[in-house]
Amino acid sequence: MANHEFRDLWARATGGDVTMAKAAIFAALLHAPTQRRRSADRTVLAFMAVTIAGLAAATGIALALAAAKPKPPPNVLHYQIGNTALTAPREWLRAPIAHAGRIERLELIIDWPRNLAVPQEDNAANSRLLDRSVLISVGAADPLSAPIERLNRVYSRFIDAKAEPGPAGLIAYSFKAGSRYDNERLLVTSEGFTTTNGEAFFARCPQKAGTQKNSPTDLCTTTLHIGMLDAVVRFSPSRLSEWPHLADGVTRIVSTLIHGQTRLPQ
């Protein structure tokens, strides 16, 4: 309380009713600090409320972000093709499928024979990507047309009779001009040459390299019958001399997927 307020109160007290003056003085002294204290208390409470609300909001945001964080994808995925269950390493998938389960085809790309995942820069700039890789498309076996039957009933109708020697015991035939396989040639195993399963090996390969070296259209194509599945295999023509190891390696790879082994074949 200011000095002039005390003087006024004291003057009234001495000039009038002493009891009422004392009461007025004590009331003034008691009332003034209470207002200031209540004002300060309100400020502190408001600050605390804002702080608590801010902490609660920050905690809620942090929890929401933690809940929304996606889980890391599994290293292997489980699929079903027909009646065959397969387990495939994610890194081998050429066209990743969002959800595991029943599918029609499984597309793989493998750096063979090291059985490693192929780098993701799958583009024309990497000219050696397809030269060292094997593309495998696994699907249900065709019950009406086994690979060897396709060789005898389909391909044999479109090839020229003239044959040329090929690499590693293969015989090369050119397809007739104007046929559906024009600009390709057929390479088949000669007598005494078979895969480890005792089957004849054959592959369609480009007659000449295309304008885009190592593009998918410049690859050889063969089909291997494995269990209840057919594996369509595409590989570089430069690997034709390795066909016995290639056929055996792909058979072991697909068999590993069928049996669900997580350890990759060597």
Tell me whether strands 116-117 and 105-111 are parallel, antiparallel or unpaired: antiparallel
pLDDT digits (tens, 9 = 90+) for 50-65: 566 666 566 665 555 5
Please tell me the pTM assigned to this model. 0.67
**Contact, 171 vs 165, CB < 8 A?**
yes
| Within-domain flag for 199 | yes
* Same-domain status, 99 and 54: no
Instruction: Decide which of 68, 99, 121 is a domain's last residue.
Output: 68
**Is pLDDT above 60 for 211?**
no
* Same-domain status, 35 and 109: no
* Same-domain status, 199 and 247: yes
pLDDT digits (tens, 9 = 90+) for 116-157: 555 555 444 444 566 778 999 999 998 777 777 888 888 888
Nearest Cα to Cα of residue 222 among 233, 230, 212: 233
* Same-domain status, 20 and 116: no
| Within-domain flag for 152 | yes
As a whole number, the mean pLDDT across the chain is: 75
State the total domains in the chain. 2
* Same-domain status, 142 and 104: yes
* Same-domain status, 202 and 103: yes
**Is pLDDT above 80 for 222?**
yes
| Within-domain flag for 188 | yes
**Is pLDDT above 60 for 24?**
no
Which of residues 78 and 265 earns the better pLDDT score?
78
Question: Average pLDDT for residues 214-226, to the nearest whole number?
Answer: 83
Nearest Cα to Cα of residue 107 among 82, 59, 139: 139
Residue 51, CA distances (Å) to 14, 48, 63 in order: 52, 5, 18
* Same-domain status, 95 and 59: no
DSSP the chain: --HHHHHHHHHHHHHS-HHHHHHHHHHHHHHHHHHHHHHHHHHHHHHHHHHHHHHHHHHHHHHHHHHHSPPPPPSEEEEEETTEEEEEEGGGBSS--SS-EE-SEEEEEEETTTTEEPPS--STT-TTTTTSEEEEEEEE--TT--HHHHHHHTGGGSEEEEEEE-GGGEEEEEEPTTSTTTTEEEEEE-TT---TTS---EEEEESS--SSTT-GGGSEEEEEEETTEEEEEEE-GGGGGGHHHHHHHHHHHHHHHHHT-SSPP-
Structural domain span for residue 56: 3-68
* Same-domain status, 84 and 55: no
**Contact, 221 vs 246, CB < 8 A?**
no
Q: What is the predicted pLDDT for the residue at 25?
A: 47
pLDDT band at 254 (very low <50, low <70, confident <90, very high): very high
